[in-house]
Amino acid sequence: MSLVVVGTVAFDAIETPFGKTDKILGGAATFIGLAAGKLEVKTKIVSVVGGDFPQEHIDLLNRQGVDTSGIKVIPEGKTFFWSGRYHNDMNARDTLVTELNVLADFDPVLPESYKDCTFLMLGNLTPQIQKRVIEQLPVRPKLIVMDTMNFWMNTAWDDLMEVIGMVDVLTINDEEARQLSGEYSLIRAARKIIGLGPKFLVIKKGEHGALLFNKDSVFFAPALPLEEVFDPTGAGDTFAGGFIGFLAKTGDISFENMKRAIIFGSAMASFTVEKFGTEGLQALSNGELNERIRIFSEMVQFDIELD
Q: Rule CB under 8 A: is residue 6 a binding residue for a copy of itself?
A: no
Residues in contact with a copy of itself, counted by CB under 8 A, come to a total of: 40
Least separation in angstroms between CB 135 and a copy of itself: 35
Give the other-Cβ count within 10 Å of 286's Cβ.
10
Q: Rule CB under 8 A: is residue 303 a binding residue for a copy of itself?
A: yes
Give the other-Cβ count within 10 Å of 298's Cβ.
8
CA angle (129, 198, 172) in 5-degree steps: 70
- The 122-161 contact track toward a copy of itself, x by CB under 8 A, reads ----------------------------------------
In whole angstroms, what is the distance from residue 133 CA to residue 154 CA?
A: 22
Least separation in angstroms between CB 255 and a copy of itself: 10
Which 3 state secondary structure label does DSSP give 134? helix
Q: Rule CB under 8 A: is residue 208 a binding residue for a copy of itself?
A: yes
Strand 81-86 versus strand 93-99 pairing type: antiparallel
How many angstroms from the chain centroid is the CA of residue 273? 14
- Which range, of 31-39, 104-112, 157-165, 254-262, touches a copy of itself by CB under 8 A? 254-262
Least separation in angstroms between CB 256 and a copy of itself: 8
In whole angstroms, what is the distance from residue 234 CA to residue 231 CA?
A: 8
Q: Rule CB under 8 A: is residue 215 a binding residue for a copy of itself?
A: no
Q: Rule CB under 8 A: is residue 294 a binding residue for a copy of itself?
A: yes
In whole angstroms, what is the distance from residue 88 CA to residue 106 CA?
A: 35
Q: Which is nearer to a copy of itself, 102 or 172 (CB)?
A: 172
Q: Rule CB under 8 A: is residue 263 a binding residue for a copy of itself?
A: yes
Binds a copy of itself by CB under 8 A, chosen from 92, 97, 139, 306 = 306
What is the per-residue burial (b if ≥16 Cβ within 10 Å, else e) of 158-192? ebbeebbebbbbbbbbbebbbbbbebeebeebbee
Q: Which residues bind a copy of itself (CB under 8 A)?
A: 88-90, 184-188, 205, 208-209, 211, 217-222, 225-229, 256, 259-260, 263, 286, 290, 293-294, 297-300, 302-304, 306-307
